[in-house]
Amino acid sequence: MNTIQQLTQLDDLSFDNHFIRDLPCDTETHNYPRQVFDACYSPVLPTKVAKPLRVAYAHEVAELLDLSPELCLSEDFTEVFTGNRLSKGMESYALCYGGHQFGHWAGQLGDGRAINLGEIINSKGERWALQLKGAGPTPYSRTADGLAVLRSSIREFLCSEAMHHLGVPTTRALSLTLTGESVIRDMFYNGNRKAEPGAVVCRVAPSFTRFGSFQILTARRDHTLLKHLADHTISMHHPHLGIPSPTVYLAWFTEICQKTAEMIVHWQRVGFVHGVMNTDNMSILGLTIDYGPYGWLENYDPNWTPNTTDAEHRRYRFGNQPEIAFWNLGQLANALYPLIEQVEPLQAALNVYTTTFEQGWQTMMADKLGLICYKPESDESLFSDLIALLQRVETDMTLFYRQLAMISTQTHDDDESLILPLMTAYYRPEQLTADYKAHLLLWLKQYINRLQQDDNSDEERKTRMNSVNPKYVLRNYLAQLAIDKAETSDFTLINELLECLRHPYTEQPGNEVFAEKRPEWARQRAGCSMLSCSS
């Protein structure tokens, strides 16, 4: 068996910065806010900081990059991934893109607080782009400082890895570091500015190209560069589609629609709410990207959004995410139209999104309920009745599905014993009126009857259900507890959560506290219930 030789020096990383070699660069070299034309990126250096300190790193991501544990614990690792030094082969830059924000065209946006370090090729021949978030201003920072604070950086670091281990397509996070400097933030834009610890996350993905990367070029009628970027993206990330042509562009867009649908199905499966599904936050590879004011659905409420900026209209609420993804793909279709110049094939590709999502959702729900396959004649009403039940009283989504696996298909002594395994999922048991219990019992008996049609053992069903219904997710209050401790220089809970979230479907004796439903103190607390777009 061949063993991979792990690197002991960052200067030994193998960089192949094809993006900046192939695509045009901003000709202005000074770093100040401006409109950038005729370019896909701007060269910019990370801002050096006073006293970088490593808080945590993800060893699986380090392994992807062939980095040894000793290297990840070194001072040089901390210096490089906080932005104080560029290792050999790194060429830092910020991406230019635009986007629709809350449904309105915002023009140029770009990497306002993200600085790319380049693309490496690992020992398996895989391409990984490295990016620092919070490493200082770029030409796209507008009036902001390009920095990030510890609380948002902890949330991004932990959630990137939690989502990966849940099986959700996502960007990854290599490291979380402190800068040793303070950053001034007004968390809820209400005039209460305060100094917070500055931090940097190193994000890792095959590519950080977004829908907005193409939108900005079409908006500016720069069709030559639009084609250049599309050709580059296809050749680097979709080479199986062939040499770029109108037919290949269409096949590429169709694949984007399919992968986006698959990602959204996963979001709905685990109860993840992105919170800010602007088109500049949509990955061209169908990855979850940009962990800002995200949240985990605790009590099942399709109208919930974690984003205070979206509190009035709730555009990005949990139940609306499938429709928003479709709308965003429509904006990408408009951006790619100059390459294809036919409406009908683009609409057909969008229909692929709809079909993929609907079929994926049906299969996902069948899996969550432990059914061997989806049967429309019985399961459509079974699913819709369950969702109605979950909304009637305050029900913890994660716990409900996990506990549902405990239901026996054998004869029950009485109705109360049938309901008993689900009781831990209810936030307010007093809401379980006689009418609600009757409705729940009716559904459970229909569910058991449906399970008996599959002729599968309870143990086999439980195993299947527990493989798709996580026990451990990054509950909003857990992230906030980790933040509270970290702001006193205690990073133990960050690393404990990171370890726990590596095994979200596994029973973990001693970690049950991380599976408990939201405590009452967290119901309305900032950081646990709602967040802003502020870092």
Catalytic site residues?
280
DSSP for residue 149: E
DSSP for residue 530: -
What is the three-class DSSP state of 201?
strand
| Three-state secondary structure string covering 232-278 | HHHHHHCHHHCCCCHHHHHHHHHHHHHHHHHHHHHHHHHCEECCCCC
Q: Choose among 259, 260, 258, 228: nearest CA to 244.
A: 228
Q: How many angstroms from the chain centroid is the CA of residue 486?
A: 22
Could you give the CA distance from residue 35 to residue 162 in angstroms, rounded to a whole number? Answer: 36
Say how many CA atoms lie within 13 Å of 507 toward its Cβ: 6
Tokens standing for residue 39: 């370019």
Could you give the CA distance from residue 402 to residue 464 in angstroms, rounded to a whole number? Answer: 11
How do beta strands 193-205 and 127-133 pair?
antiparallel
Tokens standing for residue 495: 């690393």
Residue position matching structure tokens 């831990």: 424
What is the three-class DSSP state of 396?
strand
How do beta strands 98-101 and 172-186 pair?
unpaired
Residue 302 contacts residue 232 (beta carbons within 8 Å):
no
Residue 175 contacts residue 81 (beta carbons within 8 Å):
yes
Could you give the CA distance from residue 26 to residue 221 in angstroms, rounded to a whole number? Answer: 17
Instruction: State the alpha helices, DSSP H only, in 65-207.
Output: 69-72, 75-80, 150-166
What is the three-class DSSP state of 521?
helix
| Three-state secondary structure string covering 412-426 | CCCHHHHHHHHHHHE
